[in-house]
Amino acid sequence: MQLKIFISHSAKKDCTRTILATLYDTLAKEENIVPILDKEDLVAGASWRSTINVWLGSCDAAVVLICRDALKSDYVAYETSVLAYRHTDQNDGFTLIPVFIDGVDYPQIQESRLSPSFIQEIQGFAINGNANPNNIMNGVVSKLRETAENARFLEEPRFEELYGLLKNIGEVGLKGGYRAIVAQGTTRGTEIERHNLEKWFPGGDLPLKLALKMTAAGFKGSAESLRSMRKFLPEPIANNLKYLMDLLSSSWVDHKARKLIRELPSTCSPLGIQTEEQKIVEIYVKCASHLPFIDSWRVIGLNSIYGHDFDYSTLKKEVEKILKLELEVEDTAQIRDSLGDRSLVRDYIFVVIPGEGIPDTHIGKLSKEENFKEVVFVKMKKFNSAPLEVVPTSPVTWLNPPLEQVVEDEFLSMDGIKVQLLKGVQ
């Protein structure tokens, strides 16, 4: 089996481009290694976020080229965050190799967008001064060869689920869906063919090829394909269509965020998301936990505190007030009883708190209150281009921000598209 290698970079200078080209060409010549990289002209957008997330979730190992330009790159920061999480979460079972270029050192990374990933703590290679780049590249390749011999080839679960569902659709439906997504991609001017996933999954049957196309296109880019295939879905059609739409929607949420949310039943830790839209928090929760549309009320906004500084006791009272209203109980002590014992993420209540003026310590205290044991508090923070400061002792675990703020806009309309696709389907 071939080792799938993802290369993260921001190669704008000639020296970095040369190193990137040398690494890519060397890996491409290896018998059991297939490299893939995000091109310099990758266009930011919702469909690309879906593609990048599959790259990050499906690769068996990764190399991050860290030069001065990479320290300022939103893409490298996003990719490094997910890759470093996989490296730590899998107890080093996932190989991540940082290559430090052009004199980039520990203090510079500490002050950059890459700092929260702690990639500076992972052993890697440095190319600077009189170091021979070819010798360094040989060291990287040698380490990846060792990885290829011992790798646990795990596919990204959402892609596997999508492929499994498509295999149950007849050939007529699959061909219609395939034609529709190719046509929609051409109309929208997307570059699905140029940045496809088929290098990692060569050959394959029609369901596999369609799964690759839909994953690269994302939810909105797959809308016409879904419309074409829906009547060919196995019974019950409506349930399977909803499941298919949820899988494609969830491709927007990265591996790290999805795993952290799914682990909430054992941790119930407060989360942080860089957004000003409560709807974005709903998307994260729905995508990670398959939260049914009818249960969207479980994501509750504490809008009464927006723009105000509250002391802890006042903040606590506001949370009690909104929970009593949503749970239809009269007494604070009934909140815990009404929530009961929760074993699944989709059974929890998520209280979204606008972050301006509310310290992380207040949110940490709320999560430890006896009546709020089954409540997950989510702090929202306004998105900006400055590095997200992560305090190691903070009780809030921050999820990855969008690659750019405008990406949110397309996903705020997802529910409307879903309703249209479900019309007339029983």
Global confidence as pTM: 0.76
- Average pLDDT (379-390) is 66
Q: Which CATH number fits domain 264-399: 1.10.3470, 3.40.50, 3.30.420, 1.20.120?
A: 3.40.50
Which residue in 69, 61, 74, 68 sits closest to 124, CA to CA? 61
Taking residue 111's Cβ as centre, other Cβ atoms within 10 Å add up to 10
Report the pLDDT value the prediction gives residue 137, as an integer from 0 to 100.
80
Report the distance separating Cα 343 and Cα 352, nearest Å.
21
As a whole number, mean pLDDT of residues 70-78 equals 86
What 3-state class would DSSP assign to 378? strand
| CATH code 3.40.50.11930 for 3-150 | no
For the ranges 199-208, 251-260, 381-390, the one whose mean pLDDT is highest = 251-260
What is the phi/psi pair of residue 248, to 5°? -70, -40
Task: Give, for 15, the enclosing helix (H) or strand (E).
Answer: helix 14-28
| For residues 352-374, average pLDDT | 86
Please check whether residue 36 is in contact with residue 7, taking contact to mean a CB–CB distance below 8 angstroms: yes
Q: Tens digit of pLDDT for each residue in 267-306?
A: 678 998 888 778 788 778 877 776 665 677 788 888 777 6
The residues with which 351 forms a beta bridge, in sequence order, are: 300, 377
> According to the model, what pLDDT value does residue 189 have?
41
Instruction: State CA 267 to chain mean position distance.
Output: 20
- pLDDT higher for 392 or 62? 62
DSSP state of 344: S
pLDDT > 50? residue 63: yes
pLDDT computed for residue 251 by the predictor: 72
Q: Please state which of the ranges 37-41, 169-173, 274-278, 291-295 shows the lowest mean pLDDT.
A: 37-41
**What are the structural domain ranges in the chain?**
3-150, 157-252+415-422, 264-399
Core vs surface per residue 388-417: b (16+ CB within 10 A) or e:
beeeeebbbbbbbbbbebebbebbeebbeb
Q: Mean pLDDT: which of 85-94, 359-368, 402-411 is highest?
A: 359-368
Rounded to whole angstroms, the Cα distance separating 34 from 10 reads: 20
Query: In this predicted structure, which of 87-96, 163-172, 415-424 has the lowest mean pLDDT?
Result: 415-424
Give the 3-state secondary structure of residue 415. helix
Evaluate whether 3-150 and 264-399 have a shared fold.
yes
| Run of H or E including 381 | strand 375-381
Task: Provide the pLDDT for residue 173.
Answer: 92
Token pair for 13: 């200078």
What percent of the chain lies above the pLDDT cut of 90? 10
410 pLDDT above the threshold of 70: no
Can you tell me the mean pLDDT for 219-234? 87
Confidence band for 381, pLDDT divided at 50, 70 and 90: confident
Please tell me the predicted confidence (pLDDT) of residue 141: 84
Q: What is the pLDDT of residue 41?
A: 37
Q: Dihedral angle at the C-alpha atoms of 228, 232, 237, 243, nearest 10 degrees?
A: -60
- Residue indicated by tokens 């002050």: 111
Q: How far is CA 20 from the centre of its chain?
A: 25
As to burial, measured by CB atoms within 10 angstroms (0-12 exposed, 13-18 middle, 19+ buried), residue 423 is exposed
Tokens 């970095």 belong to which residue? 16
Q: What is the mean pLDDT of residues 150-154?
A: 57
CB 41 within 8 A of CB 11: no
Question: Counting every residue, how long is the chain?
Answer: 426
Helical spans, DSSP H, in 43-111: 46-58, 74-89, 106-110
pLDDT at 226 over 70: yes
pLDDT in tens, 98-133: 999 878 888 899 888 888 788 888 888 888 766 667
Single-letter amino acid code for the residue at 416: G
The label of the residue with tokens 């997802």 reads 414
Confidence of residue 43 (pLDDT cuts 50, 70, 90): very low
Long-range CB contacts for residues 150-155, cutoff 8 Å, separation at least 24: 151/1, 151/3, 151/60, 151/61, 152/93, 153/1, 153/3, 153/60, 154/60, 155/58
**Position 361 pLDDT exceeds 80:** yes
Cα 250 to chain centroid, rounded: 8
**Pairwise pLDDT comparison (51 vs 24), residue with the higher score:** 24
